[in-house]
Amino acid sequence: MRSPLSGIRVRTAARALGAAATAAVTLVLVSVVGPAAHADTPEIPVFTDGYGLTRVADATEVRSATDFTITVTTPQLSGRHRIRVFLPSGYAADPGKRWPVAYFLHGGGGTVDDAAAAPALHSDSMITVVPDAGLKGWYADWRMQNTALGAANWETFHLQQVVPFIDANLRTVPDRAHRAVVGLSMGGYGALHYAEARPDLFGQVASLSGGIDFGMAEIRGAVLATELNLTGAWCAVSTSGTGQCTGYGAYVDSDAIFGSPYPIFNADHVWNEVNPAATANLARLAGTGVTLYTGNQGPIDVFTEAASKTVDARLGALGIPTRFVDYGNGSTLSPTCDGAHNYGCWAPAFADYVPRLAAAFATAG
């Protein structure tokens, strides 16, 4: 099947791709199911509503005291949305300690539970927060808010609501030097875009197999494929292994997220404005630690490699240091990695990256 962009194979596209202030002092641990809970029920931090987020009290999932998911509602998005949290094992034992935070952004067709496929993300050196991004949210405030999916202001949700909500409810170190944004595929785009849009929030960014160059028709084709719910091989192989990607939800207009993708009379101006590979946007990463990972095998990472090379070269021209790991066919990364678009590569990439991120946090003091 062909993408709406002439000559683009959709299946080869790179994807995924006031009251609150009181929470700052609410640092005691309480049981999620209340004081009458069984003694064996794990205890997690209490979360107080704020920043436009309202917790759904009966929808919390507790796997352990350091791995749980809360569910929230917000006027910025239709429906309920999950936020998974990994706490360091020493979080409860040292109530005076504050922790750096890594925000993990999942890929298209994925969920917050994909993070479990990369065990390194559950680190004893930092808090990891995994916010829902929808099956095809693309980390954007959509141009169209009247689609079958309703309100879809994902960027506002993440940057103006989730980040301050987490800082208010958990013992974080709430500054850019101790906050990172990392993601893969669609989330790789989101991570680089968010780091550029809000350099005041994030001091570290990592993109794995990211759709990070909207100047490439193949990357734009990936976005269009998700809007039109056109699944293909790149959808099926990009899941965490916890289930097959069954699609991207309801069909929406091909202009719904970023407007027209066609470079005619500046119709695609939004795509150009948010393009992570645009030199003006990359210049905003001065002083930010930037890491890129990609393979070059299969019908997807051949394009994420090209996008990552472009970003790396442009950052170099700007004098901004980058750590770029092109693991090719995967043989230099891990026996589980075939160089393609899957967690067999992303899990060991995170195993390589997270200790480096922890060291960067430690250096920041």
Q: Which amino acid is at 340?
A: A
Using CA atoms, how far apart are residues 82 and 195, in angstroms rounded to an integer? 22
Instruction: Say what the pLDDT of residue 231 is.
Output: 76
Name the CATH superfamily for 10-363. Answer: Alpha/Beta hydrolase fold, catalytic domain (3.40.50.1820)
**What are the phi and psi torsion angles at 99 (to 5°)?**
-130, 145
Mutual angle of helices 217-227 and 298-317, in 10-degree steps:
130
In which region does residue 150 sit, left (phi positive, over 0), alpha (psi from -120 to 50) or beta (all else)? left
Amino acid letter for position 341 = H
How far are the Cα atoms of 70, 223, 348 from residue 16, in angstroms, in the given order? 23, 9, 18
Q: Helix, strand or coil for residue 343?
A: helix
- SS3 for 114? helix
Print pLDDT tens along the chain (365 aa).
333 333 333 333 333 333 333 333 333 333 333 333 445 668 999 999 999 999 999 999 999 999 999 999 999 999 999 999 999 999 999 999 999 999 999 999 999 999 999 999 999 999 999 999 999 999 999 999 999 999 999 999 999 999 999 999 999 999 999 999 999 999 999 999 999 999 999 999 999 999 999 999 999 999 999 999 887 656 655 544 444 567 888 999 999 999 999 999 999 999 999 999 999 999 999 999 999 999 999 989 999 999 999 999 999 999 999 999 999 999 999 999 999 999 999 999 999 999 999 999 999 98
